[in-house]
Amino acid sequence: MHTPLPAGRPAWWLIALLFLSVPGFAQTIRGTVSSDQHTLPGISVRVKNTNRGTVTQPDGRYEIQASSDAVLVFSGVGYQTQEVSAGGRTLLDVLLAASTSDLNEVVVIGYGTQKKSDLTGSISSISEAQFKRVPIASLDNGLRGRAAGVQVTTTSNQPGGATSIRIRGSNSVNTGSEPLYVIDGFPVYNDNSSAGAGATVGPKLNALSLINPNDIVSVEVLKDASAAAIYGARGANGVVLITTKKGKEGPTQFDFNAYYGVQSVTKKLPLLNATEFAQLVNDANGKAVYTPDQIASFGKGTDWQNLIFRDAPVANYQLTASGGDVKTKYSLSLNYFDQKGVIINSGFKRYSARFNFEKKATDRLTFGTNLTVASTNANQALTNTGGGEGTQGVVVSALDFSPILNVRNSSGAYTLENDRGIPIGNPVATALELTNKSVSNRVLGTLFANYKIIDGLDFRTSVGVDVINTREKYYAPRTILAGYSLQGVGTVSSANSASWLNENTLTYSKTFGQHSLTALAGFSAQHFQRNLVTSSASGFVNDLLGADNLGSGSIINTPTTNTLDWSLVSYIGRINYSFRNRYLVTLTGRADGSSKFGDNNKYGFFPSGSVAWKLSEEDFIKNLNAFDELKLRVSYGKIGNQEISPYQSLAGLSNMSYIIGDKVYKGFAPSNIPNKDLKWETTAQTDVGLDFSLFNGRLNGTIDAYYKKTTDMLLWINVPWSTGFASAIRNIGSMENKGLELSLSAPILTGDFKWNASVNISANRNKVLDLGPVSQILTGEINGYLKISDPVIIRPGVALNGFYGYVSDGIFQSGDNIAGSAQPTAVAGDRRYKDINGDGKIDASDRKYIGFAQPKHYGGMTHDFSYKGFELSATFNWVYGNTILNGTRADLDLPTGQKNSSARVKDRWTPTNPSNTIPRASLNRAFLFSDAQLEDGSYLRLGAATLGYHLPTNWLKQVGLSSAKIYVTGQNLWTWTNYTGYDPETNQSGQNNILRGIDSDAYPLAKTWLAGIQIRF
C-alpha cells in the first residue's frame, strides 16, 4: 500500500504488490498497471528475452502467459521501464514511476506524434504544467522564455494586447514573419494588422486572444526545416502546434479553476511639477510668462499620470468536465475572463466554450470533433496614435499636458487642450469620453474520422472551419479635442472572415526485425475569404447616440467595402525510418499551390531531410556509464513564406474621382504592375543538434546550431516613372540568420524536498545579404511629437533592424569655438554632433549605424520547489544587448516649454549649470535623430512567482473532492534594467519586420497579485 502524491506530481519510486501462488512450469499472470499520473498511454508488458507480450487494457489490466520464473518487463513512453520477477506468483499489481528523462516524452509533430527520443528535427515542447505556470490572456504570451530560439515581444500591454514572435530571427523585409499556429490541426496565421475591422485606432488587439489558453494541454514549436517542412509554403517562420484537452477513460471528472487579482502600474515616469514647469516656460520664452507669485501658487499641480492610471482587477473562472469509456471520450469547458486595464476605461473580456469528442464506432472506425466558440469585448485605450483631428493618445497626453491646468475649467467643462501652443487633448477626457471598442466572435471547429484499413495502415480525413466576425466602433465626441472641430467624429466597421480546410492522410506503420518505418501521404485544401465594410460621419447635433446612429451626422463620408480571398492546395509526404532503434532518417516533402502567386509559379516544392544517431545505444557510449540518452541530429531543407496580400501578381484597378465641369465622375485606373513570375520566398536551413540526458536523468539538455538563408525575398523596388508607377514587387535579394540555442533541465534535489530547474538561452545573428538593384531601403517617417525620418535604413551587409543617425557629442559650452565648429549657427547650450567624415559640416553624410534592435542573446529560466503539499515556482526571462529608440524620452527631454517635460530637464544647460546631457530651454523643437534618443534595452525580469498548497487527500475525501490546490501568484514583480521608459519589452510598430525596438508612449506594464484555487471532483 502507498500514499499517493498530489495529482499531477511524478513519483520516483515503484511499489509492486506480489501475491504468492503455487509455481508451475507455465501459467497465466495477470494484474493491473497504474501510475500516480493517472494515464497509461501505450503501456506494454512482455517477457524478458522474448518478443511475446501484450498491451494493457485501457483500465490498466493486463494478462500474459509466462513461466513461473519469468521476468516481466513493464514499459511505456513517459515511464521508467521496470523488470519484475514473477517468482511463482500469478497476481502482480504494479505502480509505474514517471520517467526521469524528458527524452521519453511523446510530442506532437505535424500530422502525427512521435517519441521525443526519436525526433530528428529541432522541436521545443512545452508541457501543460509549464505553460500554465503563469495565468495568461492569450496562448502566444505563454511562450515567453519557455523555448530556446523563440523571442516574444509585447507590442502593447493593453488587456488583450498583441505580441510579436520571432522564431530564429526575421526572415524577410516586407512579408509576414510571425509563425504559423496549428490549433488541433487547423492552421491559423496571426496577423494582427489585418485582424481588426478598421474603425478602432491605436495598437491592435491580439487575434489569438480569442483562443482560451486554459484549454491547452501541450505546445510544440517546430523550428528547423526538418520539423516545419511538412507545412511547406507556410513553415519558414516556424510553426507552433497547439493541442487542447481531450477526454480520458473513466468516470466524469470535473475541474474548477478560478483566480482573482489586482493590477497596478509598475512605474511612473518622473515629470516636472507645476512650479518646475512654469520656470521652464519662462526660460524657454526668454521672458516672464508666469510671475513669481503665480509660480509660487502653482505648487505640484496636476499629476496626470495619477489621474489616468488605476488599480485594476482581473478575474478568470473555468469549469471543465471530461471522461468517457473504452469507446467514447469527451471534454467540455466553459471559461470567463475579465481584465480591466490599468488605464481608466480600458479592459478586455472573453467568453469561451470548448467541446472535444471522440467516438470509437467500430474496431476500425473512430470519429470526433474539436470545437471552440469564443467572444471577446474590448475597450481599447488610445495610447500614442492619433485618433482624430488634433488629438494624441492618453499616455502621451498625460506626459505632455500642462501640470498647471486642471481636469475641468471654472465652468465645469473639460479643459479642452494644452495652453502652451501645441494641440494636446485632455488625457482624462480622452480616456473617459472616447469610444474605441471592438467585439469579436470566433468559431473554430474540426470534424475528423480515422479508419484502420488494415493493421498498420490508417486513413484520416478532416473538415474544419474558422469563422471570425469583428465589429468595431469609434466615436470622438464634441467635448474632447479629437471631436471638437468637426463636431463629433464617428466610424463603424465590420469584418467577416471565413476559412475552410479539408485534409486527408494515409499513415502506414510497420516494424520488421530491427527496422521500423512510418510513412505519411496526404492532400490538403484551404480557402480563405474576408469582407470588410466601413462607414463614418461627422458634424453631430449632440453626442447622445454617437457612432450608433451615423445618419444623424451632417457629413456622411463615402462608405468603403473590400473583399479578398486566397486558396491553397497541398500534397504532403513524409517517411520516418529507424534501424536498430539507433539510426534514424526522416524525409519530408510538401508541394503547395497558392492563388497568391503568378501564373508561372503557382506551385512550389519544399523538401527536407534529416538523420539522427542515438549514440547512447552504442557500446562505446554505454561503457562510459554517464549518458542515459545521447543523440546527434543533422537536418537540411527548404521551406517557404507566402504571407503577402493576395492579388499582388495580378493587374489591379483602383477607383478614381475626376472633376469634369461641375460634376464628379468615377472611373478606374491601373493600380500596380502585374508580375506573372511572382513566387514564394524560400528559406534554406541547416541544423545540427545534440540531445542528451546524464546521470540517471539528473541533467537533460539540447544544443542546436543553425544557419538559415532566405532567397527570392519579396521586395518593393522603385521603377521608372515612365511605367506610370513608383514601385513594383519583385523576388529579389537575400538574408541570413545564424545562431546557437541551449536548453537545460535538471531535478537538482529529489526526495521530500524537490528542486527542478530549467534554463534556455539563444543567440541569433541576422544580416541582409543582397537587395538586388536596390542599394538601400528607407523606412519613412515615425510620427509623434517629434518626427523622425528614416531612423532605420536597410543595407546589404548589415542586420535588418539597424538604427541610422547622428552621433551626439555633448552640449556646446560657453567659451567653445562654435563659429569654427561643424555647427557654426549653434549657440551655447545646443546639442553637439560628431563630424564623422571630417568635412567641417554636419549633414546626412555624418550619419552611421548607432544601434541595433536585435539582442545579442535572450532566454528564460524556471525554478520549481516542492515539499510535501507545498509548491513554489519562479520564472525569469531576459533580453541582453539590444537597443531601443525611446521616442518618449526624445519628447520629454526636449525643454521647449510648450508641453511638460521629464524631471531630467531640471538639469538642463544654463550658463550657471553647464549640463552635458540636456540642452538649453528653447521654443525651437528642431533636433537631429542621434544616439541621444537610444537606450540599452537589456533586462532581467521575474515574470512570475507562485506559492501553492495541495490540501491533504484525507481532508478532501470527506467533502467528495479528489484534489484541491490554493495558490498566490505575483506577475512582473521585478525588472532589472537601465531603460527609462515604462517597459523595455516593447515594440510600437507591432509585428513589423523593420521598425522593431521602437517605444513611444506605450501602454504601461502592470504588476499583478492574484489568488486562485484549483478543484477536482
Using only the alpha carbons of the chain, give its radius of gyration.
32
| Per-residue model confidence (pLDDT) at position 12 | 31
Mark residue 278 as left, alpha or beta (left: phi above 0; alpha: psi -120 to 50; beta: remaining).
Answer: alpha
What are the distances in angstroms from CA 860 to CA 238, 592, 601, 864, 939?
19, 36, 42, 14, 12
For residue 47, tell me if it sits in a domain. Answer: yes
What are the distances in angstroms from CA 27 to CA 74, 89, 111, 522?
18, 9, 42, 46
Lowest-confidence pick of 208-217, 372-381, 905-914: 208-217
| Per-residue model confidence (pLDDT) at position 20 | 29
| Per-residue model confidence (pLDDT) at position 914 | 92
Residue 249 has pLDDT above 60, yes or no: yes
| Per-residue model confidence (pLDDT) at position 23 | 36
* Confidence category of residue 58, pLDDT binned at 50, 70, 90: low
Residue 450 has pLDDT above 70, yes or no: yes
Residue 61 has pLDDT above 80, yes or no: no
For residue 592, tell me if it sits in a domain. Answer: no
Residue 552 CA, chain-centre distance (Å), reads 42
What are the distances in angstroms from CA 346 to CA 128, 161, 431, 474, 781?
30, 11, 8, 14, 29
For residue 943, tell me if it sits in a domain. Answer: no
* Confidence category of residue 658, pLDDT binned at 50, 70, 90: confident
Residue pLDDT, tens place only, 873-922: 999 999 999 999 999 999 999 999 999 999 999 999 999 999 999 999 99
How buried is residue 663: exposed, middle or buried, by Cβ count under 10 Å (0-12/13-18/19+)? exposed
For residue 534, tell me if it sits in a domain. Answer: no
Neighbours of 94 (CB within 10 A): 23
* Confidence category of residue 55, pLDDT binned at 50, 70, 90: low
Residue 686 has pLDDT above 60, yes or no: yes
| Per-residue model confidence (pLDDT) at position 857 | 96
Residue pLDDT, tens place only, 78-129: 566 677 877 777 777 777 765 545 555 788 898 988 888 889 999 998 888 7
| Per-residue model confidence (pLDDT) at position 52 | 52
Please give the Cα distance from 148 to 686 (Å, whole number).
17
For residue 797, tell me if it sits in a domain. Answer: no
| Per-residue model confidence (pLDDT) at position 16 | 33
Q: What is the largest CA-CA distance in the chain?
A: 112
| Per-residue model confidence (pLDDT) at position 655 | 82
| Per-residue model confidence (pLDDT) at position 382 | 84
DSSP string, 256-277: EEEEEEEEEES----B--HHHH
Domain holding 76, by residue range, is: 15-99
Average pLDDT over residues 173-201: 85
Please give the Cα distance from 422 to 267 (Å, whole number).
27
Q: At 952, list the grid cell.
A: 491533504
Sign of CA dihedral 373, 379, 381, 387: positive
| Per-residue model confidence (pLDDT) at position 190 | 84
For residue 82, tell me if it sits in a domain. Answer: yes
Domains: count for the chain:
1
Residue pLDDT, tens place only, 793-826: 999 999 999 999 999 999 999 989 999 999 999 9
* Confidence category of residue 18, pLDDT binned at 50, 70, 90: very low
State the residue for C-alpha cell 498625460. 398
Lowest-confidence pick of 51-60, 669-678, 701-710: 51-60
| Per-residue model confidence (pLDDT) at position 993 | 86
| Per-residue model confidence (pLDDT) at position 103 | 52
C-alpha closest to that of 564 among 500, 498, 640, 466:
498
Nearest 5°: the CA angle 517, 523, 529 is 145
Residue 420 has pLDDT above 90, yes or no: no
* Confidence category of residue 6, pLDDT binned at 50, 70, 90: very low
For residue 260, tell me if it sits in a domain. Answer: no
DSSP SS3 for 1009: strand
Residue pLDDT, tens place only, 529-558: 999 999 999 999 999 999 999 999 999 998
Residue pLDDT, tens place only, 22-39: 333 457 777 777 664 444
Residue 387 has pLDDT above 70, yes or no: no
| Per-residue model confidence (pLDDT) at position 17 | 29
Q: What is the CATH number of the domain that holds 62?
A: 2.60.40.1120
| Per-residue model confidence (pLDDT) at position 78 | 55
For residue 92, tell me if it sits in a domain. Answer: yes
What's the mean per-residue pLDDT of the chain? 88
Average pLDDT over residues 391-420: 90
